[in-house]
Amino acid sequence: MKSLIDICDLSREEIDSLLDTANDIIAHPEVYSEKCRGKKLATLFFEPSTRTRLSFEAAMYELGGNVLGFSEAQSSSASKGESVADTARVVSCYADIIAMRHPKEGAPLVASMHASVPIINAGDGGHNHPTQTLADLLTIKREKGGFDGLTLGFCGDLKFGRTVHSLIAAMSRYKDIRVVLISPQELKLPSYVKRDILQKNGIPYTQTTDFESVIDSLDILYMTRVQRERFFSEEEYLRLKDSYILTPEKLRRAKSDLCVMHPLPRVNEISTAIDNDPRACYFKQVLYGKYMRMALILMLLGVN
């Protein structure tokens, strides 16, 4: 039984196979509509979510399966003091597969050590978010045709932005990748990600606070929200929240085939005036996320 806790739990071949399955689902959805008949997905969300939880649920329904779960810690026995380990053991008796989001880094890993069904990490604190990365990879593949040779800019909250950490880990396995890190000093990419992923894989990267000096070099611009809920002080959040706001003027110097991505929710980091620009890909990411989650559920349940 396999779980997905970290994006690197999947080999490159497995990621290729998920991308192929998702593309096939997009082309022939009717072939998949009964594949999970009689199977149940539990969504255990100890932290707020719109896209991730609903896309998991939509994914399971479109495969003909059923869904159970909770969307806030307050409505689960965690509020009575139950451990993640016990919750995982218990829910394994009700469901064939579990998607878990938790504010504590490592909680889905602990769950996977005690569950008897596959666990999917749907976001753990400021750490990782592998299924958003699957959505991001399908978006990049469909927009750019592949992964090799791309220059990726990550902008905003690179410290707490878990989607950034997972996407950097996934992309560092491809050839001739360059990474440009754009953030305020206080929200720089954690040094463990730089050391264990970028440096270890020999990925060239630069760090800057100056968005305008690098925008013209990028193939992908991955914008992020400043993660208010992870700050110790509201004052610090208020000071940093508007560090980068993408406007049509700023995009003027970008490549004509730039792909602007954002995991969403957007607060105000991307002006809505960009939504109809052909370079805006963030709503495509949402749709692709559902197809990649369908492909992942099939893979982890061992359905052909």
What tokens appear for 265 in the block?
């929710």
CB of 115 to ligand NCD, least distance (A): 22
128 binds ligand NCD, rule: CB under 6 A: no
Q: Binding string, 85-124, against ligand NCD, x = CB under 6 A?
A: --------------------------------------x-
Binding test (CB under 6 A) with ligand NCD, winner from 43, 121, 132, 139: 132
Catalytic residue among 39, 51, 114, 279: 51
Instruction: Based on the residue annotation, tell me whether 101 is a catalytic residue of this protein.
Output: yes
Residue 106, token pair as written in the block: 């490592």
Name the catalytic one among 101, 141, 159, 194: 101
Q: What is the DSSP string of 49-101?
A: -SHHHHHHHHHHHHTT-EEEEESSGGGSGGGGT--HHHHHHHHTTT-SEEEEE
Which residue, 92 or 260, has its beta carbon nearer to ligand NCD? 260
Binds ligand NCD by CB under 6 A, chosen from 65, 125, 153, 263: 263
Provide the minimum distance between the beta carbon of 154 and ligand NCD in the complex, in angstroms, as a whole number: 13
43 is catalytic: no
Q: Which residues pair with 179 in a beta bridge?
A: 152, 205
Closest to 155 measured CA to CA, from 233, 234, 235, 254 = 254
Residue 290 binding ligand NCD, by CB under 6 A: no
220 binding ligand NCD? (CB under 6 A): no
Active site residue 28: no
Distance separating alpha carbons of residues 273 and 248, to the nearest angstrom: 7
Residues 283 and 281: their CA atoms lie apart, in Å, by 6
d(CA 100, CA 119): 7
Quote the Cα angle for 159-252-168, to 5°: 25
We find the least distance from the C-beta atom of residue 159 to ligand NCD, in angstroms, to be 12
Q: Which two tokens stand for residue 204?
A: 């060239």
Q: Which residues are catalytic?
A: 51-52, 80, 101, 129
